[in-house]
């Protein structure tokens, strides 16, 4: 399922395919990205130095980054992709840069940083809920229909959200221990308090 996802709106574009060589992937991405760019307002023209700085700031600290063109158009879009060989193809990367799109790659074993993984799981789960397709064409039809239904009332995504808040509250209710990632649900008594109890009671249990 070829997928483009816009987290801030929740809108998703998908296409079911039986195989995904570069000739299929790149043609679909270029077509969809061109349509998205055409729907966006015209880019604001800024001085060349400021324009290049806008591109370069998104590459700060990256280990995998595209070589920027000498003559850069205004930056219009950030495209987050997995670090796959097909996404690094020179012709495709140059096409992105020429159209004002900055490619950004998740690190190896870092697919969890790509929100597309989440929307794909949601769509696949909904498409297959309680039923089993009999052929590939039927599966593709279900996936694409589910995506269209999602887009009628999309849910924006954001980092952290309620899940992160719950984890923070759970962490605050625990007491971390030195030397590992272990923690306790109740605070350990300090050594001085423990020794005071031992002196007064004359015994220690463990």
Using the predicted structure, report yes or no on whether residue 198 has a pLDDT greater than 60.
Answer: no
pLDDT of residue 204: 45
pLDDT band at 186; cut points 50, 70, 90: confident
Q: Strand 101-105 and strand 11-15: pairing? A: unpaired
Using the predicted structure, report yes or no on whether residue 168 has a pLDDT greater than 70.
Answer: yes
pLDDT in tens, 23-42: 999 999 999 999 999 999 98
Q: Strand 2-6 and strand 11-15: pairing? A: antiparallel
pLDDT of residue 36: 96
The tokens describing 162, both together, are: 């309620």
For the chain, domains (ranges, CATH) are: 2-152 (3.30.420.10), 173-201 (no CATH)
- Cα separation, 206 vs 43, in Å, equals 70
pLDDT band at 177; cut points 50, 70, 90: low
Using the predicted structure, report yes or no on whether residue 175 has a pLDDT greater than 80.
Answer: no
Using the predicted structure, report yes or no on whether residue 162 has a pLDDT greater than 90.
Answer: no
How much is the average pLDDT of 33-61? 93
Instruction: Spell out a b/e string for 152-180, using b for 16 or more CB atoms within 10 Å of the CB, else e.
Output: eeeeebeeeeeeeeeeeeeeeeeeeeeee
């Amino acid at each position: 399922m070829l997928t483009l996802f816009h987290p801030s709106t929740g809108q998703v574009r998908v296409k079911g395919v039986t195989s995904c060589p570069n000739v299929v992937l790149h043609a679909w991405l270029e077509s969809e990205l061109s349509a998205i760019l055409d729907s966006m307002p015209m880019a604001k023209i800024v001085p060349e130095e400021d324009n290049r700085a806008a591109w370069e700031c998104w590459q700060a600290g990256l280990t995998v980054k595209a070589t920027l063109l000498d003559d850069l158009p205004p930056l219009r879009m950030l495209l987050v992709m997995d670090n796959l060989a097909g996404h690094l193809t020179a012709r495709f990367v140059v096409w992105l840069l020429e159209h004002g799109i900055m490619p950004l790659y998740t690190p190896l074993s870092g697919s969890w940083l790509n929100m597309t993984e989440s929307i794909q799981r949601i769509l696949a789960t909904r498409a297959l809920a309680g039923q089993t397709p009999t052929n590939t064409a039927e599966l593709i039809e279900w996936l694409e229909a589910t995506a269209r239904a999602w887009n009628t009332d999309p849910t924006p995504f954001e980092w952290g959200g309620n899940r992160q808040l719950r984890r923070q509250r759970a962490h605050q209710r625990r007491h971390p221990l030195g030397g590992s990632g272990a923690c306790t649900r109740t605070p350990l008594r300090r050594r001085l308090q423990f020794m005071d109890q031992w002196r007064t009671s004359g015994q220690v249990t463990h």
